[in-house]
Amino acid sequence: MGGLFSAPKPSPPPPLPPLPDPAEEERKLRLEALERRRRGRAGTITTSARGLLGLSDNAPQRKSLLGE
């Protein structure tokens, strides 16, 4: 009985996405490294010599020097 009708053929798989250009990936990594080195370690610090750079209005006022 199975010989009267055939099974439908599967649809072809979708095309693969294009591979990324290795030169473009290398360029992107190089630019990120340059940007990271330009900022340096000081770019990761979010405080100034006197404390936080941006104090909110509701932050408690504290002494900044010993003896104040």
Give pTM, 2 decimals. 0.37
Taking only the tens place, the pLDDT of each residue in 5-45 is: 788 899 999 999 888 888 999 999 999 988 888 876 666 66
CA–CA distances in Å: residue 36 to residues 25, 29, 40, 43, 63: 17, 11, 6, 9, 35
Structure tokens at 27: 């360029």
For residue 29, the model assigns a pLDDT of 93
Bridge partners for 42 per DSSP: none
